[in-house]
Structure 1
Amino acid sequence: MGTSPWSKIFLINLYTPYLIGYGLALPLSFIMPVGAALKLILSVAYAAFVLLGSRLRAQFDADPRLDWFFFPTFFGFAYTWGFYTFLASTPVVILFLLVADRYARQFSLQRGLAVTVVGVLLLMSHGLAFVFGAIVAGVLYTVRCRATGDQWMKRWLQGIWAFVVPAAACVAMYVVSTKIQSAYWAQYHLPVSWNISIMRLPRLVINATGDYYNPRILLGIAGIILFFTPWMMGLRLNRRNPAAWVMLVILGIIEFFVPSTMISTGYVYERFALYAFPAYALVFVASSFGSGSGSNAARGANSGSATAATAAVAVAVAPKIARAHARGMLVLMACVWFILGYHSMEMYRFAQEAKDFEPVLAAMQPEQRVLALTYASRSEDAGLDMAYRHYATWYQSEKKGLVDFNFGWFPPQIIRFRTDHLPLIKETFRAEAFTVAKFPIDPYRYIIARDTGPLPADLFKGADCAPRLVMKSGTWTLFERKDCPIAARDLPVHG
């Protein structure tokens, strides 16, 4: 809106695929706190992901009891690491697969336009999510066309127009954004990291229910049990419909062969574990005893499809099988509720621990520039290693300030620093490396430090005007340069 005190050092970047998540939260932020707006968008995204997932499962005729597989994975790796826009894109991914598959099964102008519109919407939601959705939808479209017979290539060419606009928009956005962001990439670059090993298999299970870098034995066990529940319920693999396997196969390729870091983006394959159990659910259909009633066996006896003796045995065994399958369903439900309950308690413990930050936040004047020195980023109560790494940034959303490190450093962000105002505090900055000589404190009114032990005695050694201690709350310490000259806020930190 042009009213920010930091307008001169930032610019709005519309050549980014992060528009939907922030675009939806922006109008909400005018009527509620930023934190509440983000929570509301995530809540809606989660509900839509589950509901649309149920529709996708039904479209592939998978067993309806496996709708439970869509409940827990939203709170896996991507949630733990705070990938807000990626999480907000998840229902759009499912919606895109729905409309693309319906279009592939029966062409129509209306369905084709739906593919185009939802495809562009997905591109505006998240780049990696778009690539995943486009690959799955493209292969699914090809498989459906191939199933029509000898003239499948002609049919494929007739309907491909619906995918052209989203694909062209993706290429155009990549080319334009790469050119515009070249000045940023020269100063920020992450090397490609493949990290391929046999350990990717346990990572997949753990990242689907939690975070491999903060492993939880109980969550891992729940994930393993969850994997076997379709078999416990007597379901069988759908070998007659190759389309049902497309999402799972592509996800497997991503999880085992895609780099962890690429195109200066971290944790690429890890985040897609969110789709592991949903994709797994699509490949199962009910067996002859799937209903648990034994009526199928009785009908088999009456139809003459089996001998009378065999039919009699089937009828006698059916109730036992039904009870075993019912126990499998109870195990499935118990695993899902356990995973959700575990994460709920984890977040509750973190919320109690994080209350120590509130007095620090209350003591700070609004619209100031802040340096965050996070020596201890781990939440001991919640057992999360990176929970406090950027926690001081809440000052920005609550009091319209500016905190370094700031995500405006990253080229794809919708709000980013101007190239002539890039601060020295980068994402690679660690508090242990801080000295006044290396990182001047002239632009900062406040310095927030977090550590579980005493801070370094020479923390501000050499400062012309050393900050004074304002308060200490738990593991947080607040310093202020109240009587010191503050550099103009529209000047770059590094000179």
Structure 2
Amino acid sequence: MERVERGRLLSASVVLMAAAPWVWGDRINRDRAAMVPMFVVAIIGFLVPSTAIGTAFLYQRFAVFLLPAYALMFVAGNPPEHDARRPAPASALARTRSLSVQVAMIAGSLVFLTDQSIRLRRFEAENAGLEQVLSRTEPGQRALNLVFDRESAAYGNPAAYMHQALRYQAEQHGFVDPNFAIFVPQIVRFRPEHYPFDTEQVDERPETFQWKRDSGRAYRYFFVHKTEPLQASFFANDDCDIALVTRSGARSLYERRNCR
């Protein structure tokens, strides 16, 4: 229910932003070059797939350009010759209308930012176990991220926990698989001859992890996010002992020890 209400709020904000130039009395720019950015964004939105060349959320990434491209289509007000013939009451009404739209847009932005701030604070409390897990690790090690439960109820995001373990890589200078360096758009990528183990299946379905097939021995740490405790036989193998180092909430840290 909360997600539905949040979706309605976001939809109302989008409608407000789209209607603002028309309510203000702006007009379409006569310079057709101003339409090009919006045309390009629209073409990308309608024709570019969501996943291509090993890259997910492809066309969605261009949504950041949508509002700026839309705004570029308009110029302020009517031509000066029309303004001179506009009666005073209409001018006062136009100013009132313009002020109302500005206030509505500011209020909508504040509501959106407030909602985001509240959700982030809830998520911070929900995700507090990550700090405890990271405090039990040593730097410079290789780790595997196993996320069984991706969704955050506090933030209302179905994939909030997918890449949280990469904080170990950022703060402890280790290396965590699956890693963004396998994707084409990244500035820093693996060289073809140094590609890591294929972790795509484990990323999508961590319950399918197999010690031999997924090169379990290569990892010292296993970051697990799962609401229910992991089965005792999950890391069963003939090579190494796997010990539970710590568990906090839905997050657990396992460590490879005593390999033979």
If the TM-score is normalised by the length of the shorter chain, which range does it land in?
Answer: 0.7 to 0.9
2:197 alignment partner in structure 1: 423
Any idea what the Cα deviations from partners look like across 1:260-279, whole Å, max 9, x if unmatched? 23333322211111111111
CA distance, structure 1, for counterparts of residue 120 and residue 201 of structure 2: 25
Q: Is the 8 A contact 1:370 1:401 kept in 2?
A: yes
Residue 230 of structure 1: CA displacement? 1.5
Amino-acid identity (%): 33
Which residue identity lines up with residue 443 of structure 1 in the other structure? A
CA distance, structure 2, for counterparts of residue 364 and residue 276 of structure 1: 43
Q: Is the 8 A contact 2:148 2:226 kept in 1?
A: yes
Residue 346 of structure 1: CA displacement? 2.8
| 1:302-451 alignment, distance < 5 Å | 314-411=87-184, 413=186, 414-416=188-190, 419=193, 422-426=196-200, 429=203, 430-451=205-226
| 1:65-84 alignment, distance < 5 Å | none
> Structure 1 residues 448 and 406, CA, compared in 2 at 3 Å: closer, same or farther?
same
> Structure 1 residues 263 and 441, CA, compared in 2 at 3 Å: closer, same or farther?
closer
Q: Is the 8 A contact 2:24 2:94 kept in 1?
A: no
1:483 alignment partner in structure 2: 258
CA distance, structure 2, for counterparts of residue 266 and residue 404 of structure 1: 17
Residue 437 of structure 1: CA displacement? 4.1
Which residue identity lines up with residue 154 of structure 2 in the other structure? D
Structure 2 regions of 5+ residues with no counterpart?
Answer: 1-5
Normalising by structure 2, report the TM-score: 0.86
Residue 440 of structure 1: CA displacement? 3.5
Local SS of the residue matching 2:134: helix
Residue 259 of structure 1 pairs with residue 49 of structure 2:
yes
Residue 417 of structure 1: CA displacement? 5.5
CA distance, structure 2, for counterparts of residue 354 and residue 227 of structure 1: 36
Local SS of the residue matching 2:190: strand
> Structure 1 residues 454 and 438, CA, compared in 2 at 3 Å: closer, same or farther?
same
1:38 alignment partner in structure 2: none
2:9 alignment partner in structure 1: 218
Normalising by structure 1, report the TM-score: 0.47
Greater helix share, 1 or 2? 1
Q: Is the 8 A contact 1:405 1:427 kept in 2?
A: no
> Structure 1 residues 269 and 411, CA, compared in 2 at 3 Å: closer, same or farther?
closer
Q: Is the 8 A contact 2:54 2:184 kept in 1?
A: no
Residue 465 of structure 1 pairs with residue 240 of structure 2:
yes
Q: Is the 8 A contact 1:408 1:417 kept in 2?
A: no
Residue in structure 1 matching 2:58, options 253, 258, 268: 268
CA distance, structure 2, for counterparts of residue 450 and residue 463 of structure 1: 24
Name the count of aligned residue pairs: 253
Residue 286 of structure 1: CA displacement? 2.3
2:32 alignment partner in structure 1: 242
Any idea what the Cα deviations from partners look like across 1:97-117, whole Å, max 9, x if unmatched? xxxxxxxxxxxxxxxxxxxxx
Structure 1 regions of 5+ residues with no counterpart?
Answer: 1-214, 291-295, 301-310, 486-495
Any idea what the Cα deviations from partners look like across 1:243-283, whole Å, max 9, x if unmatched? 21111112111111222233333222111111111111112
Local SS of the residue matching 1:481: strand
Residue 349 of structure 1: CA displacement? 2.5
Residue 403 of structure 1: CA displacement? 1.4
| 1:59-138 alignment, distance < 5 Å | none
Q: Is the 8 A contact 2:210 2:216 kept in 1?
A: no
Residue 473 of structure 1: CA displacement? 0.9
Local SS of the residue matching 1:348: helix
Local SS of the residue matching 1:332: helix
Residue 343 of structure 1: CA displacement? 2.6
2:3 alignment partner in structure 1: none
> Structure 1 residues 331 and 427, CA, compared in 2 at 3 Å: closer, same or farther?
farther
Residue 368 of structure 1: CA displacement? 1.4
Runs of 4+ aligned structure 1 residues displaced above 4 Å come to: none
Name which of structure 1's ranges 457-466 and 324-333 shifts more when overlaid on structure 2.
457-466
> Structure 1 residues 400 and 235, CA, compared in 2 at 3 Å: closer, same or farther?
same
Residue 450 of structure 1: CA displacement? 0.8
Local SS of the residue matching 2:63: helix
Any idea what the Cα deviations from partners look like across 1:79-113, whole Å, max 9, x if unmatched? xxxxxxxxxxxxxxxxxxxxxxxxxxxxxxxxxxx
